[in-house]
Amino acid sequence: MRRVNGQAGKMLVPLLGVFTALAVGVAVVAIVLQVQERDKRLARERELQQVLLEKEELQTHLQATEQAKARVEQNLERTRTELAKSAQELAAAIETQTTLTQAVEARQAEIARLTGDLTQARNDAQGIAKQLSKLQTDRDTMQQQVTDLAKAKSELESKVMELSSGDRPMVELGKVVVNGQAGQSDQTSALGAGSKATSDGQVVVVNREYDFIVMNLGRSHGLAIGQEFQVVRNDEVLGRVKVEKVYDELSAATILQENQPDTIHEGDLVKAL
């Protein structure tokens, strides 16, 4: 029994060693596993912390991005508003420019018209100046003519007065035929001694400067202003005259027509038409 127990004890010792070794091995494995598990856990914790840090950074970056996005959106909205305002201002500027262009074109057309009017006015002014100069010259000429006429009138009136007063020989007429109211067969007249007899009248003055004559027929012979006479010499008609002024014994008549220049002379006969 003891022997059996001794053998059993001898067999138990190795088993205990084996179990101890197993226990130690298991413990070692457990420790190794625990160490590995702890390392894994620590690694995971570090990874978690890293992830959390990255998350925080991402969140911070996201917030910054959202803020930047908000600012961009605000800037975009402000830009859109400014763009719309700029578009309105551009449209207004274009409309203003169009209006100004039309105004400029109208002003240019007006300037062109005014330039043409000014040129025309200058031409008209030059023409008027020329006309005025001519009128002044004509006025001076007419004034001179008026002076000459006044002088000639004075001389003529003096001569008429001389003729009327008997200071020079007068033509003595018989009965004067006016408008064909009486015959002329036995009527005679004489301009001084030896004058040719006539039943009408005679030219006593010829003024070539103003183309008129003075006849020895007047109001007392029935003459009227506007009456016309033929001037004759030796039965040849020299021209035609028209009475413009009538005195008692004399009259002035304008020369209307001469067959040849300077054909009428003092002493030619005048016959009523």
Tens digit of pLDDT for each residue in 56-91? 888 888 888 888 888 888 888 888 888 898 888 989
For the cut 60, the answer to whether the pLDDT of residue 8 exceeds it is: yes
Question: Does residue 234 carry a pLDDT above 50?
Answer: yes
> d(Cα 177, Cα 186) in Å, to the nearest integer?
12
Among 68-82, 116-130, 143-157, top mean pLDDT goes to 68-82
Q: 0.75 cut: is pTM over it? A: no
Res 272: pLDDT: 92
Which token pair is 30?
Answer: 């457990």
Please give the sequence-ordered ranges of beta strands (E in DSSP) within 88-220, or none if there are none. 171-172, 190-191, 201-207, 212-215
Of 214 and 148, the one with more pLDDT? 214
Q: Which two tokens stand for residue 144?
A: 């001179």
Q: Classify residue 146 by its DSSP letter.
A: H
Cβ atoms of 204 and 266 closer than 8 Å? yes
What are the structure tokens assigned to 56, written together?
């925080």
Q: What is the mean pLDDT of residues 98-104?
A: 88
Residue 87's SS3 state is helix
For residue 5, give both structure tokens. 């127990």
- 3-state SS assignment for residue 254: strand
